[in-house]
Amino acid sequence: MHMSFDDFKREVTRWRHLWRMSKDGNLQTLVETLDYTNVGLYPGIYVVTTTLLTYPVSTCVVEVA
């Protein structure tokens, strides 16, 4: 998927407007956001959410003795 930064900003604006009008309240997790996202209407939000879900929750550092 290719999207310009300006297109993505407009999509985020539409997404935020949707949530201001929504009676569902705020989503609490990325998984809830992904489940609610219409990929046809918000492809950039879908890609960003999917990408964020692939990041590790924490990191581990090896201690050298």
Q: What is the pLDDT of residues 31-55, one digit of tens each?
A: 888 888 889 999 999 999 999 999 8
The three-point CA angle 20-21-25 to 5° equals 70
19-33 pLDDT, tens digit per residue, is: 777 766 677 888 888
Q: Look up the pTM and report it.
A: 0.73
25: left (phi over 0), alpha (psi -120 to 50) or beta: left
